[in-house]
Amino acid sequence: MPSAQSKEKQVADLAHRNASLEDMKDLWALMRQTAADIPCSIESESDQERALTEIMKCCTAELSPVVLDAKRNVVGALLARRDELDWGLRNTETINVSLAAVSASHRENGAFKVLIEAILKRNAPVYVEVKAGEGQGLAAELKGCGFSLTKTEEGAELYKWEPAAEAKAA
């Protein structure tokens, strides 16, 4: 079985690979560090349990890219899962990103772009909800990677990316 290191792809000084359960501790630390910027609440025990459950589900879905710095620390992640309704009823893959987090020290060096490009390579529609008060610059990064705003509700905006028709057929 190939090691996690052999699956990583180097981009500038950042490597990326899919998250695994081995990343739970690092992803939890990243989430605690960036919670105010995401924004998400992790103050109560139930909030923490809900967040850790989502991290675990996303790690086992094998759809969530993480970015590592030169010291092999997780400095960014797009936690994503397959849309079960689309998968079950239509047998099509649609990806829902439930959490996007990049440490403040890596937001300016392309970490979000690396993460977004990694998930777009699956060639499936991708949805990302950006909550009001999000302070990482996620909406601008999504627009820069071809996402379009599809819905605005109180407290959140929903962005969508779809592969080109010829790419879907391939």
- Give tens-digit pLDDT for 50-89: 999 999 999 999 999 999 998 999 999 999 999 888 777 7
Phi then psi dihedrals of residue 114, to 5 deg: -60, -45
Give the model's pLDDT for residue 122: 93
Give the model's pLDDT for residue 10: 41
* Segments making up each domain of the chain, as ranges: 4-169
Give the model's pLDDT for residue 37: 94
143: which residues sit within 8 A by CB, 6+ positions away? 149, 159
**pLDDT averaged over every residue in the chain:** 89
5 — pLDDT class (breaks 50, 70, 90): very low
C-alpha pair distances (Å), 21 with each of 3, 46, 60, 123, 156: 14, 21, 7, 24, 29
pLDDT at 41 over 80: yes
Mean pLDDT across 87-104: 89
pLDDT at 9 over 60: no
**DSSP-based three-state secondary structure for 72:** coil
DSSP assignments along 29-51, one per residue: HHHHHHTTTTT----SHHHHHHH
CATH code 3.40.630.30 for 4-169: yes
Mean pLDDT across 15-42: 95
